Amino acid sequence: MRIPFIMMVILLAASVLVDLYILNDISRKARKGFWRKFYLVTSVVCWVFIIVTLCLPRRSEDSGILTVMWMLYSYLTVYVGKLGYVICSLIGRLVRAISHSRSKRHPARLVGAAVGITLFIMMWWGVGVTRRAIQVNEVEVESPKIPRSFNGYTIAQISDIHVGTWGTDTTFVSALVDSVNALHPDLILFTGDIVNRRTEELKPFISVLSRLKAPDGVLSILGNHDYGDYVDWSNPDDRLANNRELAADQERMGWDLLNNTRRFISKGSDSIMVIGVENIGDPPFPTYGDLEKALPASSDSIYHQNDTRFKILMTHNPAHWDKEVSHTTNIDLSLAGHTHAMQMMIKIGGWEWSPAKFRYEQWGGMYERLNDRGHKTRLYVNIGAGEVGMPSRILNAYPEITLFTLKHLGN
* Three-state helix/strand/coil letters over 138-160: EEEEEECCCCHHHCCCEEEEECC
pLDDT, tens digit (0-9, with 9 covering 90-100), for 294-321 = 999 998 888 999 999 999 999 999 999 9
Handedness of CA 90, 92, 95, 100 (dihedral sign): negative
pLDDT band at 58 (very low <50, low <70, confident <90, very high): low
The whole model's pTM is what? 0.90
Q: Over 80: is that where the pLDDT of 232 sits?
A: yes
Cβ neighbourhood burial of 256 (10 Å; 0-12, 13-18, 19+)? middle
Q: Which domains does the chain have, with CATH numbers?
A: 5-128 (no CATH), 136-408 (3.60.21)
Amino acid letter, residue 387:
E
pLDDT, tens digit (0-9, with 9 covering 90-100), for 257-286 = 999 999 999 998 999 999 999 999 888 788
How much of the chain, in percent, has pLDDT values that exceed 90? 69
271: left (phi over 0), alpha (psi -120 to 50) or beta: beta
Q: Give the three-class secondary structure for 335.
A: strand
Q: What is the CA radius of gyration of the chain?
A: 25
pLDDT band at 1 (very low <50, low <70, confident <90, very high): very low
More confident residue, 28 or 305: 305
Q: Over 60: is that where the pLDDT of 181 sits?
A: yes
Average pLDDT, the chain: 91
pLDDT confidence of residue 102: 66
Q: Give the number of residues written for the chain.
A: 411
Using alpha carbons, select from 198, 128, 139, 187 the residue that is nearest to residue 164: 198
Q: Over 90: is that where the pLDDT of 107 sits?
A: no
pLDDT confidence of residue 32: 62
pLDDT confidence of residue 9: 78
**E-only strand ranges, 162-310:** 187-190, 218-220, 255-257, 261-267, 270-276
